[in-house]
Amino acid sequence: MNQFPYINSYVNEIFAREKSRWDYNLLRPVIIFSYFFQRTISFPLKFIFHRFPLGFESYAIDWWMTFGLKYLATHDAAELMLRHVQIEPLLYRHILQQRDADLSSASRRLNGIDGNFNVESLKVALSNQLTVGHDLLSYEVVDRFDRDRFLENLDTIRSLKPENHESLSKAALDENRKHSYQLLGPTNIVLLIVTTITFFGDLRTTINALNSFGSDSIVLWCMKHIYAGDESAQIDLDFFMQEVSNRGHYNSSAFFSNPSQYLYYHIAFDEVCYEMLMNRPPIRISKEP
C-alpha cells in the first residue's frame, strides 16, 4: 500500500520502515533543533572569517559523509543516497538531451552532468569531492538548460528513456553492508550531511548547497510538458509544486531553508520523476495541422 499516492513505492517503503526506528523518533528532533542554532551562529562567523574556500572544506565534508555512510547509515539510507547521486545527473542529461557521456574523463569523475558516476568505493567518493560536486550539478543544469531547444526536442524526449542507473557501479554499498552498525536512517543521514556542510563549508559553498533547488523547478517544468497529456501524472507532479525553493523567486534564504526538504522534496522528487520516465510512457499529443 502506498502511504503517499504521489510518491513511488520504493520511497514510500523506505519512509514507512523509517518511522518505526528509534533514531527517527528520538534523534531526529534533536538534530533539527540543534541545526537551527548552529546555522544562526555559524553564518555570521563565516561572513566575517570564512567567506571563501581555504582548501580543506570539500575533503572534510566528504570524509564525514563517507564515514557516516560506511559505519552509521542503514542500508536503506546508503542505497537511497547512492541512487540519488546517480539518478540526478541522468535526469539532467535526459532533459538536456546530452547522452553517451564520456566516462573515460578522469577529471569529470563524480562531477559535472556528463561525468562518470560509477561509485566503486567510498574512497572514490572522498577523493573526487562528491558532495560539493553533487551540489554544483543543480547550478550547471540551470546554466545549460535552453527552453526553446527543449520544446523543439520534446517529441524526441518523450520517445526516449533516461539512461539506466542500474548500469552504474554501486559497489560502495558493499562497505556499508560489511561495516555499518545500522544506526541512522535516511532522514538523519541527510540531516547530518546538511549539518556537516553548514559546519565545514565556507560561506559561498554553504549558501550554494542550501540554495541548490533551482534545478528542481526546471525538472518539474520539463516533466509537466513531457506528461502534458496525462492528467494522472499531472496530479502527482502538482504535489511537488511547493511555494518555497525557487518556485516563486530565484534565491531562497539559507537562514530559513528546511533541512528536511532535501529528502522529502528533492531526493524523493528525483526518484518519482525517474521512475515515471522509465516506466510510464508519455501520451503522444498530436499537433494541430
Please list the pLDDT of the chain residue by residue as tens digits (289 residues). Answer: 458 999 999 999 999 999 999 999 999 999 999 998 998 899 999 999 999 999 999 999 999 999 999 999 999 999 999 999 999 999 999 999 876 555 444 447 899 999 999 999 999 999 999 999 999 999 999 999 999 999 999 999 999 999 999 999 999 999 999 999 999 999 999 999 999 999 999 999 998 888 888 899 899 999 999 999 999 999 999 998 866 554 555 566 666 778 888 898 899 999 999 999 999 999 877 554 4
Whether the Cβ atoms of residue 185 and residue 23 lie closer than 8 Å to each other: yes
Which residue has cell 569523475? 109
Handedness of CA 115, 201, 255, 46 (dihedral sign): negative
Sequence-distant (≥ 6) Cβ neighbours of residue 224 within 8 angstroms: 234, 237
Nearest to 273 by CA among 123, 115, 95, 142: 95
Spatial separation of the C-alpha atoms in residues 250 and 4, rounded to whole Å? 29
Which residue has cell 565556507? 202
Spatial separation of the C-alpha atoms in residues 140 and 135, rounded to whole Å? 9
Sequence-distant (≥ 6) Cβ neighbours of residue 231 within 8 angstroms: none
Which pLDDT belongs to residue 214?
A: 84
**3-state class of 116 per DSSP?**
strand
Spatial separation of the C-alpha atoms in residues 3 and 265, rounded to whole Å? 16
Spatial separation of the C-alpha atoms in residues 215 and 194, rounded to whole Å? 18
Which pLDDT belongs to residue 102?
A: 53
Q: Calculate the alpha carbon distances from 168 to 87, 115, 197 in Å.
A: 10, 12, 26
Report which DSSP code applies to 213.
T
pTM: 0.92
The DSSP bridge partners found for residue 73 are 184
Which pLDDT belongs to residue 99?
A: 62
Which pLDDT belongs to residue 3?
A: 84
